[in-house]
Amino acid sequence: MYSFMGGGLFCAIMANILLVVSTATDYWMQYRLSGSFAHQGLWRYCMSETDCVQTFHLYLCFCHCLISAYWNATRAFMILSAMSCFAGIMAGILSFAHFSAFERFNRSFAAGIMFFISTLFVLLAMAIYTGVTVNFLGKRFSDWRFSWSYILGWVALLMTFFAGIFYMCAYRMHECRRLAGTR
């Protein structure tokens, strides 16, 4: 039981870090715009400005001027996902402690549910961003690709899902032991 909870807690902590990094960074999509490189995240977009000898790129970053519903929805779902993952981590840490006042409330079950809710939120965010990017932004730019911040979001989705699975397995083992002990 504790090995499942430990594995779930490890997955959840890694997922929360990945969610925060993915949400905060500006590399969800990379593309070429007028011959120069550009990239964008959920909060801003950056365009390269090459120096005279073109040995490195300087990026000038700007906030997204056009605030549309899909930007706000993606941002909100990513933030909600990180918050519910953090709440699941707190419940997961508390599930290692056995307080008699909480006998009717199983913290490992609550942690598992919070991780599944986090998975749902990040899935919604990634689906919205993917759909709009492929159908709208992808047609606007000829040479584009998803970048590492976007990939971190998908990896975080898997990590929160496995954290939920681990905590549900721990809950199931605890319930089986509890029921076997009462007979």
Helix axes of 148-182 and 2-24: crossing angle, nearest 10 degrees: 160
Give the mean model confidence (pLDDT) for residues 60-83: 86
User: Which has the higher per-residue pLDDT, 120 or 183?
Assistant: 120
Q: How far apart are CA 13 and CA 75, in angstroms?
A: 20
**Which residue bears the tokens 């605890």?**
174
Phi first, then psi: give them for residue 51, nearest 5 degrees. -85, 180
3-state secondary structure of 28: coil
3-state secondary structure of 142: coil
- pLDDT tens digits, residue range 52-68? 445 556 667 777 666 78
Q: DSSP letters of 41-98?
A: -SSEEEEEEE-TT-SSEEEEEEE-SS--HHHHHHHHHHHHHHHHHHHHHHHHHHTTS-
Contact yes or no for 146/133 (Cβ under 8 A) = yes
- The pair of three-digit structure tokens given for residue 143, joined into one six-digit string: 């040479």
Q: How far apart are CA 31 and CA 147, in angstroms?
A: 10
| Region label for 54, one of left (φ > 0), alpha (ψ between -120 and 50) or beta (otherwise) | left
Whether the CA torsion 3, 79, 132, 124 is positive or negative: it is: positive
**Whole-number pLDDT of residue 52:** 47
- pLDDT tens digits, residue range 89-134? 999 998 877 654 455 568 889 999 999 999 999 999 999 999 988 8
